[in-house]
Structure 1
Amino acid sequence: MSDTRAEWMGRYEGEVARIFAEASGGLPALPASLTGLAAALLEKFNPVSSNGRGADGGTNYICFLLPLWLKEQTGCGDELCRDLAIGNVYAMLHFFLLDDAMDAAAAAGVGETRRSLALGQMFYEGFRRRYERHFPTGSSLWQRYGAYLTDWAAAVSEEGERLAEPGDPAALARKSAPVKLCAAGLLLLSGQTDRLRQTEEAVDLVLATLQLSDDWADWREDLAEDGEKRNAFLTLVRRTLPPAAEQPLDERAVNQAVYRNGCLRDLARIARDHHAALTKLPNVPRALLSFHEEIVIGLERDARGAAELEEKLALEGGLSVLLSNLAKK
């Protein structure tokens, strides 16, 4: 385990195991038709389970770790932070199922979509119950939730209408805006609401970098699904083409942008700029900084690998062959 990962994950593994164990037994009573799917999802997203992957990390990790990372700074107790983390697991799965249903509505069968939406609503009920232990219906926290939910709704409803802007961290983070609710809640209960704006800015920077990393990882899938406009990495690729170029992107154009035009290097530079901005903000939890640093290092490693391969093949005269072969995959 790397030093950065040990800082943001290693020391919390025991608590994360407890959070998922309690989440598995703390849902509202489910009908028999949904129990298997619920158990499978909780197992899949559990990063400390032998069968879990944290659903490949990213935004999912920050959902249930952010309350733990903020615990010391806010002075909030173990039970409160655990309840918010469990609530965030439920909320994460609620939005995952909702997004999945929206994306797959045309391909999925009616029964599958119905089950996903029904289970998503049960996860939402679990989220509300956990949060309402500490924030009753009249709490001002629910006004913040309304604002975050509006940001999420705008992001998903407008997705694909215009090019995703890689240089706008606030816009990149909007789809994950509900993640910030636990931070707002902990600051509210600890009497530190004056820190809310800067904390939101810090979390937005991390969420934006996560989105950039996801867009790099998912560009082939997005390209195949006619999703160029929702992918910020592909926006960078598009900008390497002549201004008058209107042809759809293809894999060859993207690979050329990576290996000849340095698009991945540009993406990594944006992420590094986010980290520089993050370090200048006050009171950013060290674990959040370490989490972000690991994502940036991963992008920089990929960019460095692409540059080294380009240089090697250019010297050997094989770059054109590489681009041709990649385009055929």
Structure 2
Amino acid sequence: MRWSERYEQDIERIFAEAVAETALFPAPFKEIGLSLLAKANPEGKREGSNYITFLLPFWLKERMTEFSEAICRDLAVGNIYAMLHYFLMDDVMDAGGRLDKEEIRNALVLGQLYQGLFQQRYGQHFPAESPLWQDYRGYVETWGAAVSLEGKLPADPHDPGRLAAKSAPVKLCAAGMLRLTGGRESLSELERAIDLVLATLQLADDWKDWREDLAEEEEGCNAFLTLARERISLPPDHPLDERKVKQAIYRANVLDRLADIAEDYGKRIESIPNVPASLASFQRSLTGEIRKDALLAEETTARLASGGALSYFLSNIARK
């Protein structure tokens, strides 16, 4: 991802700081935390990463040039800690019988340790009386409301606000940087742009994770699966299985539709003033990956059809 190359040194430094502080945790939290950080660090990996979590402060600096690199690093490292805190909370809530009591206990304690480090990082620039913490409470409430609705309402690929809601705390650094510059009046527009990027990221993740979500009976949490059901006109009372999803991919062009939605989100971002170029570029890169997969699915179908194997392929799908 060429757009991220300019931030390689920043990524290396902020993860090194996070590793150094995590290494001070007592056992077993040190080992668990270091493992989570290694998975979150994009260095040396070919697959995408949740770059927006730890690069958003640097992207915002493109428009708010008065910020020092030190402040951006503090907020970026704080965002990593917050990300791990919410990841651990989600893991416990979604665990079912997958985690034993000790694993749940460790996750909750480690989550609190990271919450403390997050508050320390942000607290260097926003004391306890800062109105930023009211913003944070609002973002946490948005996250909590989204968590409470998860599984009760099908994920809607056409609703970027809902798709982005579980990642609402990511926007805290934007609120903080605007408060420090006195530009809070533009926060709502910036939040809207960030929501559209977070929604695109959710669409990309849901496409990548659909088999796992389907196997774990979490169809309602996956916007791609909602779209697959929509594309093959499957009634709500009929179960969705892997065979039907493949029909949506290879016969109903569901990936094309997913890419169309992501591209529409990108067009909405373009209409918002003063959006940092790297934020928009990240959204385009996510959209491009979805479109590339859609084209690959089309090419696969066309190749099978030209070779006379399409009927055999589709009949195999129907029997599975």
Number of aligned residue pairs: 319
Q: Which runs of 5+ in 2 are unaligned?
A: none
Give the match's secondary structure for 2:237: coil
Partner of 1:23 in structure 2? 18
Aligned-partner Cα distance in 1 for 2:218–2:265: 25
1:37 deviation in Å?
1.2
Aligned-partner Cα distance in 1 for 2:122–2:213: 35
Given the alignment of the two structures, is residue 211 of structure 1 paired with residue 202 of structure 2, yes or no? yes
Aligned-partner Cα distance in 1 for 2:155–2:231: 15
1:29 deviation in Å?
4.8
Decide which moves more: 63-72 or 17-26.
17-26
Using the size of structure 2 for normalisation, the TM-score is 0.94
Equivalent residue runs for 1:100-115 within 5 Å: 100-115=91-106
Maintained 8 Å contact 2:255/2:294: yes
Q: For residues 83-132 of structure 1, give each alpha carbon's deviation from its aligned partner in whole angstroms, at most 9, with x where no partner exists.
A: 00010010111111111122124111111111111111100100001001
Maintained 8 Å contact 2:232/2:252: no
Q: Are residues 242 and 18 of structure 1, via their aligned partners in 2, closer, same or farther at CA, if it must alter by over 3 Å?
A: closer
Maintained 8 Å contact 1:252/1:323: no
Percent of aligned pairs with the same amino acid = 50
Equivalent residue runs for 1:138-287 within 5 Å: 138-242=129-233, 244=235, 246-287=237-278
Counterpart of 1:72 (choices 55, 62, 67) is 62
Partner of 1:10 in structure 2? 5
Aligned-partner Cα distance in 2 for 1:154–1:305: 37
Partner of 1:62 in structure 2? 52
Q: Are residues 65 and 324 of structure 1, via their aligned partners in 2, closer, same or farther at CA, if it must alter by over 3 Å?
A: farther
Higher RCO (Cα < 8 Å, 6 or more apart): 1
Q: Are residues 93 and 326 of structure 1, via their aligned partners in 2, closer, same or farther at CA, if it must alter by over 3 Å?
A: farther
Aligned-partner Cα distance in 1 for 2:114–2:48: 20
Structure 1 counterpart of 2:167, one-letter code: S
Q: Are residues 189 and 110 of structure 1, via their aligned partners in 2, closer, same or farther at CA, if it must alter by over 3 Å?
A: same
Q: For residues 190-233 of structure 1, give each alpha carbon's deviation from its aligned partner in whole angstroms, at most 9, with x where no partner exists.
A: 11111101110010000000011111111111111111111111
Give me the CA root mean square deviation.
1.9
Q: Are residues 189 and 328 of structure 1, via their aligned partners in 2, closer, same or farther at CA, if it must alter by over 3 Å?
A: farther
